[in-house]
Structure 1
């Protein structure tokens, strides 16, 4: 039994190593996703600004069309003004021309404002596009480093899996099954060393008769407190 227990300890060390590597692998995968999200968020921000600019240009074109219409209205009114015979009609046309010119001035002011906003937005988009290009370049380099780390971990996991397979074959199947059940219930630690009369898993004191059984090493001994498998090193004896 003592040999099997030491083999179980070796199996547990391999499992803990695999757990750590898998955790590290998941961290790298999460970093990869985060990098993609950063690029996507930056790209979406650029697209949103482009949408703002397109809407601004559309509004400006509408104002320019209205300005053309007002210019035409003024021109027609000025022609009519020359043909008017009565004072009343003349005053009405003058009023129309005045109102049209006022509206034209307002439209021109709005067009100037839209042009200034469009110019500012165009500069902002250019800066954001430059930032996006730089980010994508940096991210490509960082993702390459992460991929190297993933490849290395995968090689290590493959080696660990092979070593684990060899170790499992050397242990009775019933004992492996019990180990796996304990490992699942005890946060990955199924077998622990008995040291100085205590269980190193829960630090509780072990009964003397149980400790004597460990010295003999004939049977499987469980900690009465945490139910983990116990083993005793030869040097401790």
Structure 2
């Protein structure tokens, strides 16, 4: 049983180490996700600006078509003036031409405004694309560093998992089930040290007779307060 108790202590040590390594790995994966989100956000901003540019271009095309139509109308109306016989009709057509010319002037101004807006937007998009390219290069380097760290962690995890499996093979199935249940119930800590008559898991004093039983190492003892499995601290056990 003494050997089983030592193995339980080692199993707990490895599991806590694995918990820490897995936590580090998850934090690094979250770091990579955050970096990728930055790129995605920049790409989304450029896509939104491109949509605005496309909308501006569509508006400009529509204005060009309207301008062409009005210019055609003016040409036809001016041709009709030569054939008009009455003063009243002449005045009506002249008014139509004047209104159409006013409209074409407004359309030309709007087309110029749309062109200027599109030009400014295109400059902004170009600047954003340059920034995106620099961001992608920077983030690619950062991701590479994080991925290297993850690879290093994973090699350690694989090694510790192999050691853990060997320990588990040497322990009774009933002990492993109890250990696993306690790990789930006690935030990952199923085995704790006892020292100076106290449980270091809950910091409660142990009954003297129970504490003395630990020195014999011939049975599995649990803390009456937190129910965790108890082992002697190494300096006491080896003293």
For normalisation by structure 2, the TM-score amounts to 0.93
- Say which SS state the counterpart of residue 230 (structure 1) adopts: strand
Alignment-derived partner of residue 225 in structure 2: 225
Map of 1:169-180 to 2, 5 A cutoff?
169-180=169-180
**For the aligned residues, what is the CA RMSD?**
1.5
Contact 1:182/1:189, CA 8 A, preserved across alignment: yes
- The number of equivalent residue pairs is 237
Deviation at 1:33, TM superposition (A): 2.0
- Aligned-partner Cα distance in 1 for 2:67–2:232: 95
Superposed CA deviations along residues 16-71 of structure 1, whole A, max 9, x for unmatched, are 11111111111122222222222122112211211111111111011011111111
Alignment-derived partner of residue 85 in structure 2: 85
Alignment-derived partner of residue 194 in structure 2: 194
The gaps in structure 1 that reach 5 residues or longer are none
Change (3 A) 1:127 1:234: closer
- Say which SS state the counterpart of residue 230 (structure 2) adopts: strand
Deviation at 1:235, TM superposition (A): 4.1
Superposed CA deviations along residues 177-230 of structure 1, whole A, max 9, x for unmatched, are 221221111111111111121110001111122112123222211111100111
Change (3 A) 1:234 1:89: closer
Change (3 A) 1:74 1:13: same
Deviation at 1:88, TM superposition (A): 0.7
Deviation at 1:167, TM superposition (A): 2.1
Map of 1:112-131 to 2, 5 A cutoff?
112-131=112-131
Contact 1:2/1:231, CA 8 A, preserved across alignment: no
